[in-house]
Amino acid sequence: MAGLLTVTKNRNVPLDKIRNIGIIAHIDAGKTTTTERILYYTGRTYKIGDIDEGTTQMDWMPQEKERGITITSAATTTFWRDVRINIIDTPGHVDFTAEVERSLRVLDGGVTVLDAEEGVQSQSETVWHQADKYKVPRICFINKMDKLGADFHRTVGMIRDRLGANPAVMNLPIGKEHEFKGVVDLLTKKSLVWGEMEMGAKFDVKDEIPADMVKDVGEYRHQLIEQICETDDKLLEKYLDGKEPSLEELKKALRQATIAYKFVLIFSGSSLRNKGVQPLLNAIVDYLPSPLDVASIKGINPKNNQEEVRKTETNQPFSALAFKIQLDPHVGKLTYIRIYSGKLTSGSYAWNSTKDKQERVGRLLLMHANQREEIPEALAGEIVAVVGLKETGTGDTLSDPQHPILLEKITFPEPVISLAIEPKTKVDQEKMGTALQKLAEEDPTFIIKSNLETGQTIIWGMGELHLDVLVDRMKREFNVMANVGAPQVAYKETIKSAAEGEGKYIRQTGGRGQYGHCLVRVEPKNRGEGYEFVDAIKGGAIPNEFIPSVAKGVKEALEKGVLAGYPLVDITVTLYDGTYHDVDSSDIAFKIAGSMALQNAVKQAGLILLEPIMKVEVTTPDEFMGKVIGDLSSKRAQILGTEKRGKVSIINCLVPLAELSGYATILRSLSQGRATYYMEPSHYEEVPKNITEKIVGATNPQVVRG
């Protein structure tokens, strides 16, 4: 089997010697480089991988090597000081936000990597708040201290101000930019200095602190000890009596405070220059939680809807969450699971509580990026891959068939961009459906829809890069050649006011006819609240068996849209009256009547179009700022503010996605290739009337004429 590994000798480590961590950050902050160094220093790899050379362990997909970015979250297992560390290296690009979301759901701790020159960037904020949602304790690694413009103190200030965190500085950098050579450990007051040789595997520990840093070290150390003592009453008493707690006491309190997320530990270094990674590894072992430190997992018993608690113990009933599906050319479908309680053995059966189906567990694998090692059983607290699960998808709960439990699902953002795709040849046509289905199984933010009127297949995703990578994977992994249309913005329709409508479907064709008649009321809901169908029929005006047919007709009409063919959202539809015929009424007649009634009602309810608005952050040299802002204003941008960062300016704004097609090229030409931008979905907003008319005119000319 490809890439077989042997780390089994150390596998059965006690639970307190396991760390499940994720490396999370903004694109280009150095996550993958940091992970590569961790693997090298822990002896997992013998050669340091390089992103620019395409030789990294964690970015193993061809698309990742070519683009120099992480696309899928790769999982790996390694050891440091007899502790087993399961690491997930997540993507930084916003198009792959689902990978980050699902990884954070199953991790116990995180390492946030920040760029010392850029500080806290937009995507750093996004992933930080995602981690907040799942209450993941984390450590910050301020990377790239050797970069021109690196500023440790400013970055710490941004962690406090922009992320709302309470930073506890653990070490201070010795020098910066090209003079960066090591760090001072504040707890031990020792200097750690790395030479240029041996790829940073060895470093000197010195008792003396550089003369120009003595004052700073004193101040920061005093502040750190104060912060630690404030979290523990006994230590605070000792400290107020003028006695300094011992190193052991400080470390113990520091661990408890980090796990309780009272503060975030700050380390510094330069992964690319091989400096500062070992103190980070020590911190992962010393301060981040083991599966035992994480509160028991809660779930619902599907049999009686009562809440149940499962402890992280192997003698508890088995429960696990499937958080990622990966298609592997050698073994087929791999399902990554985090086991919360009990144990799982290969060849056994597990109950999929989400889908009410029994699954057979084929083989269990420990993963190292795209290499794997077969294991006979997996225990509570572990992250493993399972071969052989047929029905299980992302976010499904697996449990003991005798003791079912349903864990909280993972929620994903809605896609904002689509494109039409069609096979090039008849042979491709047969293969394309299978390929798209398999890719959609892997990626919950990738959605496939068929346009029945045009016969086209439409694929939806989180951004142009996301769709580009998926089409590329279809070509390489499934050998499917396809023609791809231009990306289209995911507009939506909604209503502004309440209205009523009637739908009457009567057909008489000799013998038995068709009869369906219903009246509905539509009301707008708040943005993002979705669709609700209310059955308010009284006195049997429509028999119960026909009501689901009306609901089905309404739902189909909502999906097709009325104004310009985009789905109708944020609406309550109440079925309140109707009539039926003893002989002629049928499911199909009521379904058509429901669809007619809905269309009739929404046309009187002030139909409007909604468009996705993107949060955009442009980084530009000062001399091009006027041009860039002028261009953004022409794109209907709402400028939120600007800030100075060294010799560049950051422009924060909200821009409709429809205006951003090809923006990378425009920005390059405006700034001689020196400005960069980053964007992520923000919210949906009403499209201005003049633009609505253009869109409706292009999709539905008779509406405009009417």
- Residue 697 labelled as part of a binding site: no
Distance (Å, whole) CA 497 – CA 622: 46
- Residue 535 labelled as part of a binding site: no
- Residue 144 labelled as part of a binding site: yes
- Residue 26 labelled as part of a binding site: yes
Distance (Å, whole) CA 400 – CA 316: 10
Secondary structure of residue 293 in the 3-state scheme: helix
Q: Supply φ then ψ for residue 146, to 5 degrees.
A: -90, 0
Angle at 369 between CA 366 and CA 370, to 5 degrees: 85
Distance (Å, whole) CA 559 – CA 95: 25
- Residue 451 labelled as part of a binding site: no
Distance (Å, whole) CA 509 – CA 549: 22
Q: Are 90 and 123 in contact (CB under 8 A)?
A: no
Alpha helices, DSSP H only, in 52-133? 62-67, 97-106, 122-133
- Residue 27 labelled as part of a binding site: yes
- Residue 145 labelled as part of a binding site: yes
Residue the block writes with tokens 């097609």: 661
Which residues are paired to 652 by β-bridges?
A: 617, 641
- Residue 396 labelled as part of a binding site: no
Residue 224 corresponds to which tokens in the numbers above? 């750190």
- Residue 630 labelled as part of a binding site: no
CA separation, residue 84 to residues 10, 15, 65, 281, 290 (Å): 8, 9, 28, 11, 10
Distance (Å, whole) CA 325 – CA 444: 10
- Residue 432 labelled as part of a binding site: no
For 672-701, what is the HEC assignment? CCCCEEEEEEEEEEECCHHHHHHHHHHHCH
- Residue 501 labelled as part of a binding site: no
Distance (Å, whole) CA 580 – CA 544: 11
- Residue 6 labelled as part of a binding site: no
- Residue 698 labelled as part of a binding site: no
Distance (Å, whole) CA 453 – CA 89: 42
Mention every residue, 6+ apart, whose C-beta is less than 8 A from residue 406.
299, 300, 301, 302, 353, 354, 397, 399
* Nearest Cα to Cα of residue 327 among 515, 476, 172, 511: 476
Residue the block writes with tokens 């405070």: 257
**Residue type for position 90:** T
Which residues are paired to 379 by β-bridges?
A: 343
Distance (Å, whole) CA 307 – CA 298: 7
Binding-site annotation, residues: 25-32, 89-93, 143-146
Binding-site annotation, residues for GTP: 25-32, 89-93, 143-146
